[in-house]
């Protein structure tokens, strides 16, 4: 696999670093998939913090079982430029699967959700984690989650893209085509319904050629007030601050309206919203 094309969130960089530390203290000093889980459990914020609270995973028991299995194992070892320690072939399998999930969700950074899903779907945790805990990990850590950003003391960032403006009615056909082509028919229908309003609460972003490259709206999904989204940026224009700028144009207007908070529904890149506007994950409900 080509590590040059792999982008990791800051949280994932920490997870990889802590996984290496776990490997360095193990019997064979070789990185294995279970080290990723142990590293995830060190993260106390976001969905990983929720997993630590809700699951019955015992780190000491995992390490003891790892030691017993290591004494009997003869796994093939290789290397990878992402790591400073030897790794098993199973680690490559997990990375490839996580990359697949990232691409399937039309994202550009591998995050902890992709990693956890790969660990479970590739059966890398079967010997260490109960079926109930695996289901809980999938529910909490690998699905889109609702988040909330408080706006009471909101301040518009100084550094923001200038090629963003409020949508006008002449943008409608171009915007609908863009959304349907790059994202989904469902999102296109949501944006279309927003144009029933005289002034749709949508912002659009353009490149230096004047081509549409992104959009974001609020109060448009099922007419829910205080609800941010959907938002989307063309894949070739991501990691340039466009999404950040679109988000804050919407939050600024929401704050000016008088909203105390913004609900970010079904947030995929959770760490993006945590960093961009200090949003926090809304705790999941349990049946």
Topology annotation, domain 3-143: Double Clp-N motif (1.10.1780)
Instruction: Place 56 in a pLDDT band, splitting at 50, 70 and 90.
Output: very high
DSSP assignment of 179-232: HHHHT-HHHHHHHHHHTTSSS--EEEEE-TTS-EEEEEEES-GGG-TTEEEEEE
Its CATH architecture, for the domain 149-281, is 3-Layer(aba) Sandwich (3.40)
> Where are the domains positioned within the chain?
3-143, 149-281
> What's the pLDDT at 71?
66
For 253-262, how does the pLDDT look when each residue is reduced to its tens digit (9 = 90+)? 999 999 999 9
Residue at token pair 């199973």: 90
So what's the pLDDT on residue 269? 86
Asked whether residue 69 carries a pLDDT value surpassing 60, the answer given is yes
């Amino acid at each position: 696999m080509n590590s040059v094309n792999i982008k990791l969130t800051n949280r994932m960089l920490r997870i990889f670093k802590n996984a290496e530390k776990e490997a360095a203290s193990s019997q064979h000093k070789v990185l294995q998939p279970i080290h990723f889980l142990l590293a995830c459990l060190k993260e106390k914020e976001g969905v990983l913090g929720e997993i630590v609270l809700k699951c019955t995973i015992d780190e000491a028991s995992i390490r003891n079982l790892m030691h017993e299995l290591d004494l009997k194992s003869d796994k093939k070892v290789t290397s990878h430029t992402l790591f400073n320690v030897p790794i098993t072939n199973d680690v490559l399998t997990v990375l490839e699967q996580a990359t697949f999930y990232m691409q399937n969700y039309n994202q550009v950074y591998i995050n902890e959700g992709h990693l956890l899903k790969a660990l479970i779907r590739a059966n890398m945790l079967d010997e260490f984690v109960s079926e109930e805990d695996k289901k809980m990990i999938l529910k909490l850590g690998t699905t889109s989650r609702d988040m909330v950003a408080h706006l009471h003391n909101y301040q518009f960032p100084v550094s923001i893209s200038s090629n963003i403006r409020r949508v006008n009615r002449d943008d409608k056909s171009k915007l609908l085509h863009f959304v349907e082509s790059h994202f989904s028919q469902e999102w296109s229908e949501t944006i279309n319904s927003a144009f029933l309003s005289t002034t749709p609460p949508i912002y659009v972003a353009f490149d230096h050629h004047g081509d549409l490259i992104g959009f974001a709206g609020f109060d448009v999904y099922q007419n829910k007030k205080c609800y941010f989204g959907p938002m989307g940026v063309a894949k070739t224009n991501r990691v340039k601050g466009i999404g950040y700028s679109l988000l804050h144009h919407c939050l600024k207007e929401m704050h000016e309206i008088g909203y105390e908070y913004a609900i970010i529904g079904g947030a995929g890149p959770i760490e993006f919203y945590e960093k961009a506007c200090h949003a926090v994950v809304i705790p999941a409900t349990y049946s």
